[in-house]
Structure 1
Amino acid sequence: MQILSSQNARVKEWSSLLEKKQRDKLGKYILEGIHLVKEALEADAEVECVCYELEAGIPAELAAAASARLDVDWIGVSAAIIAKCSDTKTPQPVFAVVRKHAGSAQPLLEAAAGLVVVLDGVQDPGNVGTIIRTADAVGADGVIVGAGCADIYGPKVLRATMGSLFHLPVIHGKLEELLPQAKGRGIRLAGTSLQAAVNCFAYDFTGPTWLLFGSEGAGLSPTVRALMDDGLIIPMRGQAESLNVAMAASVLLYEALRQRHYPGK
């Protein structure tokens, strides 16, 4: 199949997915670049179509998927269409349109000794994507994204995840409902706090733990802070005032990984 006109109805729909309101309305999003498209295809995500620059052909890295994924439309398009549907100044020669996957928090609530990341108003796309990628790296059970966070299906977040969105559950949830349910199941809710007395390296991460991270400027919202069981402090020997939220998440997640999988090291 080929589409060469930028005025084509499907092209107009694809380009509209660069806006969050259209992603929400249509239940779809755009993935740009060979790596992310390959990750989505290998994860059996609900890929509607893959569009590649006609003159260049299907990228070699996607050739096997093109033969295997017969449920996907493979569409050759013009460079102008690629540019119209891209969020970057130098577009990559391929993008995919993927249907959103809602997911459920129930498996995370039921995970034995689960390690879950909870985002509460984390607004920077790079931070959201990096935290998802780090959660994937340490083998966390999932990520719950609360209100006020950057859209996980936005182009900048997707690039920052480097495909980790397809490796673990990343779901939207109402924290005011989910966090009390977690507490009722004996899950500890822990987060960073400047007023905390507990050094994060002395905290026990081996039990069921949900790590709470708030917005870059204000931290956790009052509602979420009131539900937090354990406040942790990340010790700093230098003169930096603080770490950004993605760095703080990395420190806590890797300490959890060390305790759970490399005890005594």
Structure 2
Amino acid sequence: MDILSPQNARVKEWAQLLEKKHRDKQQKYIIEGIHLVQEALRSGADLECVAFDVDQGIPNELLHMTGAGTEVEWIGVSAAVIAKCSDTKTPQPVFAVVRKQSAAIGLLLQRKNSLVIVLDGVQDPGNVGTIIRTADAAGADGVIVGRGSADIHNPKTIRSTMGSIFHLPVIEGDLLEIIPEAKEQGVRIVSTSLQATSTCYGYDFTKASWLLVGNEAKGVSDAAQQLVDESVIIPMKGRAESLNVAMASTVMLFEAMRQRDFTTTIIPVQPPK
């Protein structure tokens, strides 16, 4: 059955998911746009429903996916309903309501030579989402988001992940409990510091390494810093004072990927004949 009125009780529940307290209460969140809905369906996320603009119909890119997940309800809605459930100025013609699924920290603790990035008080949703996307691209085993960081189900965070939130475990928790557990399993905690004497290019990331990054303004908290095994510096040739936390995370993650999956081979340049 189509839902056309923004005053519909179900629509009001969906619109509430734009606020964290209601996401926590309902244990659900909203994703917007064709790409994110595609990724959620492909990844087997627990979708309650997909709502599409009834005047435009189900987007062509999603037509073949209407049978993916027999429990997923497809609902035609008005443009006014879509606008009420979106936090963007120009809403896309489709959104979905997703039930939260919590990943188990035990999976990461048991993984041999795990590569994980740990966020300590990273407050910007765009940074959190970008780091999740980068971790996915670099083949990391997971992301741990400590308390005080942006909500991983914030619409801006979700958009910034570009669907990567459905590709790898993203766990929210207390770092002062999780990190000591990891250290007991032989994981080394690595962080960046402007005072470090060794560079990220000289560190061995092939062993179990969890990369700890901190708040945009204050860096890693004192309590978390006490748990760090090794501090490294990202060398910079230019005059920039520092890197954005998402950029620094990218440098570290891709250096770890290079060491783990690629060997440097120098191809000699042949002189012209």
Q: Contact 1:105–1:173 at 8 Å: present in 2 too?
A: no
What residue in structure 2 maps to residue 10 of structure 1? 10
Q: Amino acid of the residue matched to residue 25 of structure 1?
A: K
* CA displacement, residues 163-221 of structure 1 (integer Å, 9 cap, x when unaligned): 00000000112110111111111110001111111111001000000000100000001
- For 1:132-151, list aligned pairs within 5 A: 132-151=132-151
Q: Distance in 1 between matches of 2:63 and 2:249?
A: 37
Distance 1:59 1:259 in 2: 42
Contact 2:38 2:62 in 1 (8 A): yes
Residues 18 and 154 of structure 1 are in contact (CA less than 8 Å); yes or no, is this contact kept in structure 2? yes
2:173 corresponding residue in structure 1: 173
SS at match of 2:96: strand
Match for 2:254: what amino acid?
A: Y
Structure 2: which amino acid aligns with 1:103?
A
Higher Cα Rg, which structure: 2
Q: Larger % of helix: which?
A: 1
Shift in Å at residue 94 of structure 1? 0.3
How far apart in 2 are the matches of 1:173 and 1:208? 20
CA distance in 1, matches of 2:29, 2:180: 31
| Aligned residue runs from structure 1 range 148-227, under 5 A | 148-227=148-227
Map 1:88-107 onto structure 2 (within 5 A): 88-107=88-107
Q: 1:70 & 1:60 partners in 2: Cα distance?
A: 19
Q: 5 Å matches for 1:55-66?
A: 55-66=55-66
TM-aligned CA deviation for residue 102 of structure 1: 1.2
CA distance in structure 2 between the aligned counterparts of 1:68 and 1:214, rounded to whole angstroms: 39
Which aligned pairs between 1:27-46 and structure 2 lie closer than 5 A? 27-46=27-46
Aligned twin of 2:123: 123
- Pairwise CA RMSD of aligned residues? 0.7
For residues 208 and 7 of structure 1, the distance between their equivalents in structure 2, rounded to whole angstroms, comes to 52
Counterpart of 1:180, as a letter, is P
Asked if residue 51 in structure 1 is aligned to residue 69 in structure 2, the reply is no
> What SS does the corresponding residue of 2:213 show, helix, strand or coil?
strand
Counterpart residue number, 2:69: 69
> What letter corresponds to residue 26 of structure 2 in structure 1?
L
TM-score (norm 2): 0.96
Work out the CA distance in 1 between the residues paired with 2:86 and 2:14.
10
Q: Deviations over 1:94-149 (max 9, x none)?
A: 00000011111111111101000100100011110000000000110000110011
* 1:64 Cα deviation after fit: 1.2
* Superposed CA offset, 1:17-59 (max 9, x none): 0001110111000000000011001111000000000000001
SS class of match (2:58): coil
Post-superposition offset of 1:67:
2.7
Measure how far apart 1:69 and its partner are. 2.8
| 4+ long deviations beyond 4 Å | none
For the residues of structure 2 that align with 1:67 and 1:233, how far apart are their CA atoms?
Answer: 50
Alignment of 1:221-260 (within 5 A): 221-260=221-260
Displacement of 1:63 in angstroms is 0.7
Does structure 2 conserve the Cα–Cα contact (< 8 Å) formed by 1:87 and 1:155? yes
Q: Are the counterparts in 2 of residues 121 and 214 from structure 1 also a CA contact under 8 Å?
A: yes
Partners in 2 of 1:199 and 1:257 — Cα distance? 16
What secondary structure sits across from 2:67 in the alignment? helix
